[in-house]
Amino acid sequence: MKLLKLVPENTNLDFMRYRNVALVISLIVTVLAIGFTAVQGLNFGVDFVGGQMIRTTFARPIDVEQLRGRVEGLHLGEANIQEFGGPTTYQIRLPRPGGGANAANLAAERVKSMLAADYPGSRIDSVDTVSGKVSEELAQNGAIAIALAMLGIAIYIWFRFEWQFGVGALLTLGHDVAMTLGFFSFTRLPVDLNVVAAILTIIGYSLNDTVVIYDRIRENLRKYRKMAILPLLNLSLNETLARTVVTSLTVLIALGILMAIGPEVVFGLAIAIFLGVFIGTYSSIYISAPVLVWLGINPSSFVKNEEPDPTAKAEPQRV
C-alpha cells in the first residue's frame, strides 16, 4: 500500500528567510487585533456581563420582528434576538436589569410567560440568568485562569529549557491570545465561558507545537555545535514539519466534524479552537523560533554547563 506523504521527504524550506517580513506582518496584525478589541470591544455573553439569555423553539416558523416587538413590549431593555441552529429556534438576550439580585430572575420569568401566552406550543430550551456580581467574578476568574496558564507554562519552559525559550513561549502565547480576541471582536461572536476554555486550549495547543519545535532546536544545538543559528532553526523546523502538518490536520478534522454536525451549543468553542490551530501553528514557526535569534541564543550559551554529547556529530547531515 502506498502511504500518504503530506510533506515530502527532506524538505529544505528556508523559513527564517522571511522572518523579518513575518515579524512585521505579525506585529501589524497583533497591534490591529489589540486595537480593534480595545475600540470595538468584545461581545460578552451573559456569563460575563450578566443578564439573561433564553433559547426557545417555536412550534412553527415565526415573524422575528413581531417577536422583537413583543419582547420589547415587556420593557426589559434592548433585546437581541438571533436565530440559533434552525429556523424555529431563537435566542433572546436581554441586558442585565437594574434592581436587586432577583431582578434578572424576574425578567426571565416575564419573557417566559409572554412566550407561553403568545406562542402556544413553544418550548423553552434553556434559560441562563447571571447577576452582575456573579458575572464579574466569572470574568475575573476567566482572566486569571488565562494569565496564570500563560505564566505557569512559561515558567515550566524556562526550567526545562533556558530563559530565552520561556520568553519566546510567552511572546508566542501573547500573540495567539491577541489574535483570538481580535477575531472574536471582529466577528462579534459572543464571548462566554466556553470561549475562555477555547483560549486556554489554544494556549495549550500552540505551546504543544512550540515545545516540539524547541525540543528539536535544543537537540540540534547540542548536536551541531558549529552550525550558525539561522540554518539550525531552519533545519529544526523542516525536521518537525511533517509532524506539525499531520497533527494539525487530525485536530482540524476532528474539530471540523464537531462544527459541522455537533451540537450548536459548542459551535463557538469549536470555531475558536479551529482558528487557534492555524494561529498556533503559524506562531510556533514565525514567533517562537525567531525570538531565539533576537535573544542571542547559540550553542555555547546553551550547552556550556553540559558534558559533550558523545552521540553528537561534528557535521550536519543536511542543511
Partner 1 sequence: MLDFPKWKVWTIFLVIAVGIVLAVPSLFPKSQVETWPSWAPKEQISLGLDLAGGSHLLLEADAVDAAKQRVAAMEDEVSTELRRDPRIEIGDVSTANSRLSFMVRDPTQLDAAVERIRTLTRPVALTGARDWDVAVVDQTRIVLTPTATGSANALKQAMTVARDVVRRRIDPSGTKEVTVINEGDNRILVQVPGVENPEALKKLIGQTARLEFKLVDLQANPQEVAAGHAPAGSQVLPMASGGGAIAVKRRVIVSGDQVTDARQSFDQDGRPVVTLKFNTAGAKRFARVTQENTGKPFAIILDDKVLSAPNINEPILGGSAQISGNFTVQSANDLAISLASGKLPVKLNVVEERSVGPDLGKDSIHKGAIASIVAVLAVIVFMLLTYGRFGVYATAALIVNAFLILGIMAMFNATLTLPGIAGFILTIGAAVDANVLINERIREELRRGRRVLDAIETGYHEARRAIFDANLTHVIAAMLMVYFGSGPVRGFAVVLLIGVVTSFFTAVFFTRMLVALWARRSRPRELHI
For partner 1, the binding residues in 242-281 under the rule CB under 8 A are 242-243, 246-247, 249-255, 257-258, 261-263, 265-266, 269-270, 273
Q: Residues 14 to 43: which contact partner 1 by CB under 8 A?
A: none
Residue 19 or 218 with smaller CB distance to partner 1: 218
Least Cβ distance, residue 269 to partner 1 (angstroms): 5
- Please give the full DSSP string across the chain, using - where no structure is assigned: -PPP-SS-TT----GGGGHHHHHHHHHHHHHHHHHHHHHH---B-HHHH-EEEEEEE-SS---HHHHHHHHHTT-SS--EEEEESEEEEEEEEEPPPSSSTTHHHHHHHHHHHHHHHHSTT-EEEEEEEE-HHHHHHHHHHHHHHHHHHHHHHHHHHHHHS-HHHHHHHHHHHHHHHHHHHHHHHHH---B-HHHHHHHHHHHHHHHHHHHHHHHHHHHHHHH-TTS-HHHHHHHHHHHHHHHHHHHHHHHHHHHHHHHHHS-GGGHHHHHHHHHHHHHHHHHHHHTHHHHHHHTT--HHHHHTTSPPPTT--SS-S--
Q: Is 312 in the site for partner 1 (CB under 8 A)?
A: no
Binder of partner 1 out of 128, 298, 303, 312 (CB under 8 A): 128
Minimum gap (Å) between residue 201 Cβ and partner 1: 6
Least distance from C-beta 316 to partner 1, angstroms? Answer: 12
The answer to the question of residue 102 lying near partner 1 (CB under 8 A) is yes
For partner 1, the binding residue among 127, 229, 293, 295 (CB under 8 A) is: 127
Cβ-based nearer residue to partner 1, 185 or 240: 240
Of 71 and 273, nearer to partner 1 (C-beta) is 273
Choose which of 27, 59, 101, 117 interacts with partner 1 (CB under 8 A): 101
| Total length of the chain | 319
Identified binder of partner 1 from the candidate list 37, 131, 164, 236, rule CB under 8 A: 131
Choose between 77 and 204: whose C-beta lies nearer to partner 1.
204
62 makes contact with partner 1 (CB under 8 A): no
Residues 154-213 that bind partner 1 (CB under 8 A): 156-157, 160, 192-194, 196-197, 200-201, 203-205, 207-208, 211-212
Least distance to partner 1, CB of residue 14, Å: 20
The C-alpha atoms of residue 118 and residue 111 are separated, in whole angstroms, by 10
